[in-house]
Amino acid sequence: MNNAAYTPDEVAKLFKISKHTVYELIKRGELQAFKVGNKMRIEQSEIERFKNLDAPSSKRVPEQSSTLHIAGSHDFLIEHLIKYVTKQADFLTIQPTYIGSLEGLMMLYRGGCDVAAIHLLDPSSGEYNLPFIRLFFVHEPLTVIRLASREQGLIVAKGNPKNIQGFRDLTRKDVTFINRQKGSGTRFLLDSSLAKEKIDPAIIKGYDNEEWNHLSTASYISRGIADVALGIRSAAEQLGLDFIPIKDEQFDLVLRWNKKNEEALQHLLDIIQLTTFEESIRNLEGYNTKELGKIIFENK
């Protein structure tokens, strides 16, 4: 008896179908699989059984392409997820709008998007995201999943020539700061940290100068226009800048379900939880993906 076991990638190549189609067949019980740790495997005997059925075709998966609108914080993981979905799932498209965590959550509340990407620190509890979600959503069907934990900190020039060590240094006359826009999770972290240390934002040179994503903010440092910014380690690494860790934060996706998007949202969940997406981002600097795909709150 042949006890060989195959990965979904290998099965996809055997049947000349997409890898996501294989996961869809597994999810619907048409193809039996088992897990080894977090890896899916399909036995040779199951492949032979499946061959004797009608050949897999597009009728086994949704024929109509679906589009999900995701709004909220900009992050390289979101960019990577969009690229991964575009490559792996030809019937699912993600349309992003990077408007900051709070605006993304409000857009979800108003029904203007399907998913919000957020990292909002509640200063009173020290907890991320859930206090805001519980405040805005009471009866709406929601699923909140962890995408990753990531490092936020002060981004400075290589070698840290101004010897910046913490938020107190932002008040120095020889230091120029570049800020993130109001409503972003990074701005929430900054303002709560300044309040905690009783620092008046008015005395920070550059506090009113705002940028809308991490890479643009970090570029001010690399070009010598500013001396310091608050941002994620990944942005600093991409531009060869130094990074002073401040906070590990939780970056989550909030999915709001309705009859029109439930199939597409389930496909998104499957991609995050069942495919090799986690493997594709595991080596990105500044992220911890140990809890990727974990459901941390659900109201359905």
Q: How many CB atoms lie within 10 A of CB 4?
A: 12
32 part of a folded domain: yes
Number of domains in the chain: 1
Q: Alpha-carbon distance 89 to 20, whole Å?
A: 6
DSSP string, 210-236: EESSHHHHHHHHHTTS-SEEEEEHHHH
Residue 208 CA to its chain's centroid (Å): 27
Length of the chain counted residue by residue: 300
81 part of a folded domain: no
52 part of a folded domain: yes
Q: Alpha-carbon distance 136 to 155, whole Å?
A: 33
Low-confidence stretches of the chain (pLDDT < 50) are 1, 55-63
Give whole-number Cα distances, 46 to 30, 41, 51, in Å.
Answer: 10, 10, 9
The whole-number pLDDT of residue 64 equals 59
Measuring CA to CA, which residue among 287, 186, 167 is closest to residue 231?
A: 186
Burial class of residue 117, CB neighbours in 10 A (0-12, 13-18, 19+): buried
- Check: CB of residue 204 under 8 Å from CB of residue 234: no
45 part of a folded domain: yes
The whole-number pLDDT of residue 91 equals 79
Beta-bridged to residue 298, according to DSSP, are: 143
What tokens appear for 199 in the block?
Answer: 């620092």
CATH of the domain at 55: 1.10.1660
What tokens appear for 121 in the block?
Answer: 């620190």
The whole-number pLDDT of residue 196 equals 96
Measuring CA to CA, which residue among 107, 110, 111, 124 is closest to residue 73?
A: 107
The whole-number pLDDT of residue 17 equals 75
220 part of a folded domain: no
What tokens appear for 186 in the block?
Answer: 């990074």
Q: How many CB atoms lie within 10 A of CB 38?
A: 12
What tokens appear for 298 in the block?
Answer: 């659900």
Q: pLDDT tens-digit profile of 86-133?
A: 887 777 899 999 999 999 999 999 999 999 999 999 999 999 999 999
51 part of a folded domain: yes
Q: Which residues of 162-180 are buried (b: 16+ CB within 10 A; e: fewer)?
A: eebeebebbbbeebbbbbb
Cα Rg of the chain (Å, integer): 22
Query: What is the residue range of 55's domain?
Result: 5-60
Q: Alpha-carbon distance 167 to 266, whole Å?
A: 42
In this prediction the pTM is: 0.82
The whole-number pLDDT of residue 56 equals 43
